[in-house]
Structure 1
Amino acid sequence: MLTLHLNASDLSRTVVRSAPSVLLELAAAGQRVFRPDAPAHLAAWRARTRAALRPGMRPLLDLCRLPHWLPDFLTPTNHATDAAAALDEVAATPTATLGAELRPRIEAGDLPPRVAPLAAGDPVARQRLRAAMGAFHAVAVGPYWPTIVAAVHADRAARGHTMVDVGIDRVLRDLSPYLHWAPSGATYRLSYECAFGTDLDVVPDGRGVTLVPSYLLPQPCVLDDPDGPLVLAYPIRPTRRELTTGQPLADLLGRTRAAVLGAIVGGPSTSQVARTVGISVASASQHTTTLRSAGLITTHRAGSAVRHALTPLGEHLLRAARAAQVGDGRPAAAVTRR
């Protein structure tokens, strides 16, 4: 059992991240392809992804085979949404970090001996890992990113409404069936029934908690960075829709503009849209202008930020595109982890 002991300051600094983390989704996808218990909405995605696996992806998949462990360097806490920059960051992981995380697992037999060059920081092994991550992203995450973004935004918006209407207590109580929320004197306990069966206590001590919604993560995970807020990544609520690529909408609007439309959930600013889709703010502004002119979104100023919202027509277009995909069977759009 892992238990987070949160005080009033932690609760006042608890936030829900506005976009998914590309590396978290990538690592979670690597775990999902080996799990036999794929939920219904991921069954077809898992079958397609397994069929697309290639030998060049092995340097990444070697690190994802354990059901309840991932190396921390695969999912740094900055939670970038730009895939290329995120992969560069992983490839530049300090050699000391690689060795500290990988050598004990190799010696215990949890990881195969072929991971040893990476644990030693070998430049060729680093580049092979980056190439493997890029290749796996291209088949397992990239094509589905607009759908993942839209689902994460919808989950965040729902929790935001709950926080406003009922309070943070209800948000944390309903966060995940794996998590248990209860008051404990002057503090509060958020407990997670960990698979490794060890009792651990984590005390943020006023640093706050950043909640990171994830589409592909099988179960919650905690990343404790002493220099920043504690990070709790959690699987979003299951959906009845199959994970799809968003291709029909991309055919109509173009892939980037379709991704921009899918990212406009919960009133994001132009800069938030840009970060979510992985484009420049100027490009995001051009796309939102076009979507606004087409009557698919509205824009209003909130202080210094410009925020966007879907119109009924925009919502209908997104729903119709996703329904069409399901109907025609097309493929679908220094840290310690606990």
Structure 2
Amino acid sequence: MLRIHFTDADLATTRVATAPDALWEVAASLHRFQTRAGRWAYAGWYRTTHDRLRERHLDRIVREVLLPLFPRARYFPDFLTPSQPGCAGQGLDAGLDAIVSTPVDRVSHELALLDRRVGAPAWVRRLTDPQERRDLVATIRAYHDVAVRPFGDQIHAHLEAKRSSCCRDLLAGGVQGMLAGLGPTMRWQPPVLHVRYSADRDLYLGGRGIRLVPSYFCWDTPVSLADPRLPPVLFYPLLHEPAAATLGTPLTALLGRTRATVLRVAASGAGATTGEIARAAGISPSSVSKHVGVLRGAGLLISSRHGGNVLHTLTPAGVSMLRADAGASTAAL
């Protein structure tokens, strides 16, 4: 759990990003290759991007260079997602320039942290050389052009929808109302924002405020900078809905849109947790539990506990129902 402590001055200077942060989206998209969690939400992106990277002979360099630097773990170097004034939220070029101009001692320190906490190949030590960082940012730019830029319209549309929601919450309840409506991964208990996080820590804003960055590629767990001395930022996931959950399918007509969504999300990969279904359907976890109970009672889902999560997967009857629905929907086209 990350606990972000606000003062009155912090509430006055909290802001929501006006545009996607290119390098945070690069980082989060690289994390999507390292897990099957939420794969249903990015299925089209994953297939398209995987093919494009291979066609442009970038798959190997992504695997050997970028993934080790951006591990889906408790830590990756802060200098790869610059937050200092003049580059935060200013686009890809400003961010890449900031990576190249990062002081050598900071680069060395953060790479040592990466190696100590996660493990890193020996070559990363060469990134203390500015020319090596120039080569790295050329690789990041090439990856961005394939994996992020082509999906810019979707990313912007999701961000604008979230900004509109934040504006409504702000008008209705002020900054505290906006913080209370950030989503199921966060809980506002004045003066602390409790955030689902990969580690247990406290962040004291101390009058600096915080930049909230809704993200298209971030999934499930928000991310912040590891160094509390840097300008505070919280990078957090946007809501995704399965494209297949439309009102016109036979399954939706039979079960209703929400329960049809629950089934479709549970059909992805190795199933879905209660939280993942809640984000996909736009409902609370308690509502998910009620819908899952009905579907489980109908023999369409089974639920099992994995660690701290409950995983919901389809039964053979649930699989058959989805296949029949897909066939009926295709025939109607």
Structure-1-length-normalised TM-score: 0.63
State the distance in 2 between where 1:91 and 1:8 align.
36
Instruction: Give the AA of the match of 1:136.
Output: Y
Q: Please name the residue that 2:195 is paired with.
A: 192
**For residues 151 and 127 of structure 1, do their structure 2 counterparts lie closer, same or farther at Cα, with a shift above 3 Å needed?**
same
Q: Give the CA deviation at 1:191.
A: 1.4
Cα deviation for residue 149 of structure 1 reads: 1.4
Q: What corresponds to 1:209 in structure 2?
A: 210
**Alignment correspondent of 1:62:** 68
Matched residue type, 2:66 = L
Q: Report SS of the residue matched to 1:233.
A: strand
| 1:160-213 deviation line (CA, Å, top 9, x unaligned) | 012112333332122132222113xxxx111123223x3x22221222222111
CA shift in 2, pair 1:76/1:227, >3 Å: closer
CA contact (8 A) 1:176 1:234 kept: no
> In structure 1, what residue type is equivalent to 2:237?
P
Verify: 1:111 aligned to 2:120, yes or no: yes
1:80 Cα deviation from its structure 2 partner: 3.5
| Partners of 2:76 and 2:116 in 1: CA distance | 16
Aligned mates of 1:206, 1:81 — CA distance in 2: 23
Identical pairs, percent = 32
Q: CA deviation at 1:43?
A: 1.7
Amino acid corresponding to residue 194 of structure 1 in structure 2: Y
**Residue 82 of structure 1, aligned match among 91, 94, 102:** 91
Q: CA deviation at 1:134?
A: 1.2
**How far has the Cα of 1:74 moved from its partner?**
1.0
Equivalence map 1:101-250=2 (5 Å): 101-107=110-116, 110-118=119-127, 121-183=128-190, 188-196=191-199, 198=200, 200-218=201-219, 219-223=221-225, 226=229, 228=231, 230-241=232-243
Cα distance change of structure 1 residues 62 and 157 upon mapping to structure 2, 3 Å threshold: same
Local SS of the residue matching 2:213: strand
**2-structure distance, mates of 1:209, 1:84:** 23
Q: 2:252 matched to which residue of 1?
A: none
Equivalent residue of 2:94, what SS?
helix
Aligned match of 1:100? 109
TM-aligned CA distance change 1:66 to 1:151, over 3 Å: closer
Give CA deviations for 1:252-283 in whole Å, capped at 9, x if unaligned.
Answer: xxxxxxxxxxxxxxxxxxxxxxxxxxxxxxxx
- What is aligned with 2:277? none
Cα RMSD of the aligned pairs, angstroms, is: 2.5
Any unmatched runs of 5+ in structure 2?
245-328
What is the identity, as a one-letter code, of the residue corresponding to 1:132? T
With the length of structure 2 as denominator, give the TM-score of the two structures: 0.64
- How many pairs does the alignment contain? 235
Kept after mapping to 1: 8 A contact 2:73/2:118: no
Q: For residues 187-336 of structure 1, what are the structure 2 equivalents within 5 Å?
A: 188-196=191-199, 198=200, 200-218=201-219, 219-223=221-225, 226=229, 228=231, 230-241=232-243
Match of 1:73 among 79, 94, 114: 79
Would you say the 8 A contact 1:23–1:79 is kept in 2? no
In 1: Cα distance, 2:70 partner to 2:234 partner: 19
Q: Secondary structure at the match of 2:184?
A: coil
| Aligned counterparts of 1:167 and 1:86: Cα–Cα separation in 2 | 31
Structure 1 unaligned residues grouped into runs of 5+: 243-326, 328-338
Whether the 8 Å CA contact 2:30–2:70 is kept in 1: the answer is yes
The amino acid that maps onto 2:234 is L
Q: CA separation of 1:5/1:37 partners in 2, compared to 1, >3 Å: closer, same or farther?
A: same
Distance in 1, matches of 2:116 and 2:210, equals 34
Measure the CA separation in 2 of the matches of 1:80 and 1:175: 19
Is 1:42 paired with 2:50? no
Partners of 1:83 and 1:94 lie apart in 2 by 19
